[in-house]
């Protein structure tokens, strides 16, 4: 599915583009409420996952590959792995915030959501990629 | 009067190039709030038709999906967007996004 840059995320990108506001590392987070991303969203729209072993992942600026053909990708696939079996938690997608401000930058809901993360070793894998068109 | 024209100071010309202050973003886009015959929704996927996720106006969460012709939907109004999904969006800012 397509990434959704809400109004607030577009503003962050624009201010970074013209060097008005310094960019920050991004933080990749899974969400567990049944949200379809919209352009009015903020970070508070999303309920972050809490399953055992879950931890948000910081995406270091230096670890992004060089942009090419209007697209930029993170250098490695990122994995969220459940560390013990327990009550299932439905995961609908992910959202990305700024590391310092906590502001929402973009989000994406998977077209096959939800994914029930239940058992030890259940994993969700994401390679962050942004394409401009 | 040719000499007068020669000595007359030229008036400066100002080219005032302005971008719209109220950009209307009415084009269909992912994440756009729309109203369908089945209720409030968000555009999730666009092709010839629109895949729209229907949203509960009270909770702001998705409860179903529908495929609609573009002619069958309209952009939602600010007042129709669930409060919980526009907590930090003033009416003025919403208008810039096309939500009148």
Average confidence score pLDDT of chain A: 96
Instruction: List b or e across B59-93, with b for residues whose CB sees 16 or more CB atoms inside 10 angstroms.
Output: ebbbeeebebeeeebebbebeebbeebbeebeeee
CB pair distance less than 8 Å for A44 and B55: no
pLDDT attached to residue A14: 95
- Chain B residues with beta carbon closer than 8 angstroms to that of A11: none
**Cβ contact, residue pair A111, B45, below 8 Å:** yes
- The single residue listed with the structure tokens 């100071």 is B9
* Contacts of the segment B48-54: beta carbons below 8 A, 24+ positions apart: B53/A36
Q: Which residues of A touch B99 (CB under 8 A)?
A: 40
Closest C-alpha among A31, A17, A45 to residue B89:
A45
Longest dimension (CA), chain A: 47
Question: Could you read off the pLDDT of A78-114 as tens digits, one per residue?
Answer: 999 999 999 999 999 999 999 999 999 999 999 999 9
Mutate to test the interface with B, among A9, A11, A36 (most CBs of B within 10 A): A36
Q: What is the DSSP string of A11-73?
A: HHHHHHHTTSS----EEEEEE-S-----TT--GGGSPBP--TT---EEE-GGGBPPPBTTEEE
Query: Mean per-residue pLDDT for A7-28?
Result: 96
Nearest-CA distance A51 → chain B (Å): 21
Cα B35 from chain centroid (whole Å): 14
For chains A and B, CB pairs below 8 A equal: 57
- DSSP letter (8 states) at residue B50: E
Element (H, E) at A42: none
- Rounded to an integer, the average pLDDT of B85-94 is 90
Q: Quote the pLDDT of residue B34.
A: 96
Nearest CA in chain A to B82: A40
Name the 3-class secondary structure at A111: coil
Q: Show which of residues 36-95 on chain B sit within 8 Å of chain A, judged by CB atoms.
A: 42, 44-45, 53, 55, 60-63, 81, 84-89, 93-94
Min Cα separation B79/chain A (Å): 13
B89 contacts in chain A (CB < 8 Å): 7, 40
What are the pLDDT digits (tens) for B16-48?
A: 766 554 444 457 899 999 999 999 999 999 999
Query: Is residue A119 a contact partner of residue A82, using CB atoms and an 8 Å limit?
Result: yes
Q: Tens digits of per-residue pLDDT, B35-88? A: 999 999 999 999 999 999 999 999 999 999 999 999 999 999 999 999 999 988
């Amino acid at each position: 599915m397509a990434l959704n840059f809400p109004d607030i995320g577009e503003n962050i990108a624009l201010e970074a583009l013209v060097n008005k506001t310094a960019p920050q590392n991004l933080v990749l987070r899974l969400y567990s409420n049944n949200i379809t991303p919209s352009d009015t969203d903020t970070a508070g729209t999303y309920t972050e996952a809490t399953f055992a072993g879950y931890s948000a992942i910081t995406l270091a600026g230096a670890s992004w590959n060089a942009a090419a053909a209007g697209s930029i990708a993170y250098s490695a696939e990122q994995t969220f792995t459940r560390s013990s079996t327990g009550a299932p938690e439905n995961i609908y997608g992910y959202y990305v915030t700024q590391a310092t401000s906590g502001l929402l930058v973009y989000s994406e809901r998977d077209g096959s959501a939800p994914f029930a993360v239940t058992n030890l070793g259940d994993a969700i894998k994401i390679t962050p990629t942004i394409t401009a068109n | 009067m040719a000499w007068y024209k020669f000595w007359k100071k030229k008036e400066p010309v100002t080219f005032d190039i302005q971008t719209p202050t109220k950009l209307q973003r009415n084009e269909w886009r992912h994440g756009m709030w729309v109203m369908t015959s089945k209720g409030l929704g968000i555009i999730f996927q666009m092709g010839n038709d629109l895949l729209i996720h229907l949203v509960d106006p009270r909770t702001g969460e998705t409860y179903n999906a529908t495929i609609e012709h573009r002619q069958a939907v309209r952009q939602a109004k600010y007042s129709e967007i669930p409060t919980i999904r526009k907590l930090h969006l003033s009416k003025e800012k919403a208008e810039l996004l096309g939500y009148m």
